[in-house]
């Protein structure tokens, strides 16, 4: 597994307008932790304005800040961090096996759709450090300061050199003020209904899920497919294609592997099943991962490394559901 993560940092890119299932690589393109995937409104990178379509990269030590806007940054494959308005985030470490960011001000949400034991996903806020341990949805607020776990599990150290960690599970929150306080409950449904950042993240997740379905169908049976971040020029964003199976994210949207589609896996109408607001999946008893087809040449490849590429294809509207 470690070798898989370390060696799959690159995917061939296909020229726009070609069929990736039948064309050889035209030029290489990479997407690494820290790639800025989407900007809405006003944002800066180290004090310089970022264009909405810049595809800039948040390198180690650099800071992305929003004013009247929001931003989405890619971390490891299947992990997105989204900044709310008037927020600031610094990249501490963009390494694949140790990905660490620091929330300086404002709010951020981290959507974790896939995580390996080899991944150290760390979020620093004030004196505290949070390690994300499972796929789920995590909300950080530097103004409060607070961690809320909508779904998943995290471990919080009151200070970066502390030896005591506090476990925070779904439906619980913890003050990130340097104390080792106990967790408390919060109303996930109420927050999900009234929180603009949560709802913006859900909309972004829906767009990315639509893009995933489109690209998964195009790459089904493609001999040169590698999992990870793949570029969709129609959406003008990277989306995530897992190496095998079907993953339900915390919002209830599916991310399909081309191998799952190639093996005859069912694509759910509207590509969404359940989700927290509806119950059943998402934050309440979500399955997380559904096994699928694994091509003989790729057998054992269960989610892949960090890859980026350009794939021809367009936007596919949901079919309902």
Residue 269 carries which DSSP code? G
Measured CA distances, 49 to 37, 72, 271 (Å): 15, 15, 35
Distance CA 239, CA 220 (A): 16
For the segment 117-154, what is each residue's pLDDT rounded down to a tens digit?
999 999 999 999 999 999 999 999 999 999 999 999 99
Asked whether the beta carbons of 133 and 157 are under 8 A apart, the reply is no
For the segment 229-281, what is each residue's pLDDT rounded down to a tens digit?
999 888 889 999 999 999 999 999 999 999 999 999 888 865 554 433 333 33
Q: What is the DSSP track for 152-164?
A: SEEEEESSTT-S-
Higher pLDDT, 190 or 53: 190
Distance CA 13, CA 36 (A): 18
Looking at domain 36-186, its CATH architecture is Sandwich (2.60)
Q: Quick check: helix, strand or coil at residue 52?
A: coil
**Domain extent listing, the chain:** 2-30+197-298, 36-186
Q: Quick check: helix, strand or coil at residue 210?
A: helix
pTM, rounded to two decimals = 0.80
Distance CA 8, CA 308 (A): 10
Query: Could you tell me how many residues make up the chain?
Result: 321
In the structure, what pLDDT confidence band is assigned to residue 100 with cuts at 50, 70 and 90?
very high
Asked whether the beta carbons of 315 and 234 are under 8 A apart, the reply is yes
How many other β-carbons are positioned within 10 Å of the β-carbon of residue 44?
A: 17
């Amino acid at each position: 597994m470690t070798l898989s993560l370390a060696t799959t940092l690159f995917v061939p890119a296909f020229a726009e307008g070609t069929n990736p299932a039948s064309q050889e690589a035209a030029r290489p393109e990479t997407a690494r932790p820290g790639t800025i995937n989407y900007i809405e409104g006003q944002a800066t990178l180290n004090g310089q304005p970022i264009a909405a379509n810049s595809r800039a990269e948040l390198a180690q030590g650099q800071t992305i800040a929003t004013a009247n806007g929001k931003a989405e940054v890619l971390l490891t494959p299947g992990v997105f961090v989204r900044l709310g308005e008037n927020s600031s985030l610094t990249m501490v470490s963009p390494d694949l096996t140790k990905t660490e960011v620091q929330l300086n001000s404002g709010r951020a949400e981290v959507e974790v759709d896939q995580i390996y034991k080899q991944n150290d996903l760390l979020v620093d806020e004030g004196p505290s450090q949070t390690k994300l341990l499972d796929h789920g949805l995590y909300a950080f607020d530097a103004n409060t300061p607070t961690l809320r776990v909508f779904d998943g599990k995290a471990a919080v150290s009151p200070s970066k050199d502390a030896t005591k960690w506090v476990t925070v599970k779904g439906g619980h929150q913890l003050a990130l003020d340097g104390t080792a306080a106990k967790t408390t409950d919060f109303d996930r449904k109420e927050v999900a209904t009234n929180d603009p950042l949560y709802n913006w993240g859900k909309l972004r997740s829906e767009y990315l899920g639509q893009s995933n379905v489109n690209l998964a169908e195009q790459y089904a049976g493609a001999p040169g497919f590698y999992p990870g971040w793949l570029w969709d020029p129609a959406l003008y964003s990277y989306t995530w294609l897992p190496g095998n199976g079907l993953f339900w994210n915390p919002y209830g949207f599916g991310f399909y592997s081309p191998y799952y589609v190639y093996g005859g896996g069912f694509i759910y109408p509207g590509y969404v099943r359940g989700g927290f607001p509806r119950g059943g999946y998402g934050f309440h008893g979500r399955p997380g991962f559904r096994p699928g087809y694994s091509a003989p040449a790729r057998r054992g490849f269960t989610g892949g490394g960090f890859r980026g590429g350009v794939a021809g294809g367009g936007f596919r509207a949901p079919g309902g559901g």
